[in-house]
Structure 1
């Protein structure tokens, strides 16, 4: 039972971070973001909430699976979780930089760092629990796409 509680706790933590990040973006989505020139591959706004919700659930499950390995791999779990927490903080920071500060260039620099930190989290998780690492693959892909989108928005609105 404790194993499921850990997974649930990490999932809820990720969802709360996602919710708070979403709340921080609300004003700019209505005012600033519609004024930007966007590339042809920019998804409609309604796509972001369900995609991010699913990604936060996957992240949480991955984190919980790794946490459940703490007795077998204490140092590896500690290291993997450090990267996990850093990437989660960077995830929230991107929303602030892009939508609150309205700074696509600073957000672009930060999202590259975020992608690298997610990749390192993936690498660490793979040493502990292969399915935990696999659950981060869609997140890596989406943040890769978000990086391209962020770069295009910055370029088009210089």
Structure 2
């Protein structure tokens, strides 16, 4: 049993952090000089904050789906929604930083936040800890939505 839990944690980590890796690669490769030249709102965080925040959020997401997975009341549709939400998570970085399309990125973010809220609700039905682990993520993405919208207005 312990071996299965360890393997499932590794697999969920691999999938979740793959989304992080792809999004990070897109950001690093295409961010500059475009992003530096944008007019930013006063509440725009410094660049150094994003890596530790996202690393923490991806770890919390991994733990949330892993705990959910090991609950006898889990359902596969929620797991599928989790995987779909990771696609939208990665897509935002590509749309925003690779294609420099802030408006489309805003719509991707709205879909992403909607999927996270759905996950929180579905996780809560099975394991409250999983839903609580997703709250900082939805809050950060909501802040990103405000930031994304502000960048559209200012540019």
TM class by shorter chain equals over 0.9
Q: CA RMSD in A?
A: 1.1
Task: Summarize deviations over 1:97-145 as a string: whole Å, max 9, x none.
Answer: 1000000011011101110110001111111111011100000100000
Instruction: Say if 2:67 and 2:127, in contact at 8 Å, map to a contact too.
Output: yes
Under a length normalisation based on structure 2, what TM-score does the superposition of the two structures give?
A: 0.94
Unaligned stretches of 5+ in structure 1? none
Quote how far apart the aligned CAs of 1:9 are.
Answer: 1.9
1:120 maps to 2:118: yes
Which residue does 2:16 correspond to in 1?
A: 14
Instruction: Say if 1:8 and 1:64, in contact at 8 Å, map to a contact too.
Output: no
Unaligned stretches of 5+ in structure 2? none
Instruction: Say if 1:10 and 1:60, in contact at 8 Å, map to a contact too.
Output: yes
Under a length normalisation based on structure 1, what TM-score does the superposition of the two structures give?
A: 0.92
How many residues in Structure 1 have an aligned counterpart in Structure 2?
Answer: 153
Higher mean C-alpha deviation, range 146-155 or range 7-16: 7-16
Instruction: Say if 2:31 and 2:98, in contact at 8 Å, map to a contact too.
Output: no
Instruction: Say if 2:92 and 2:109, in contact at 8 Å, map to a contact too.
Output: yes
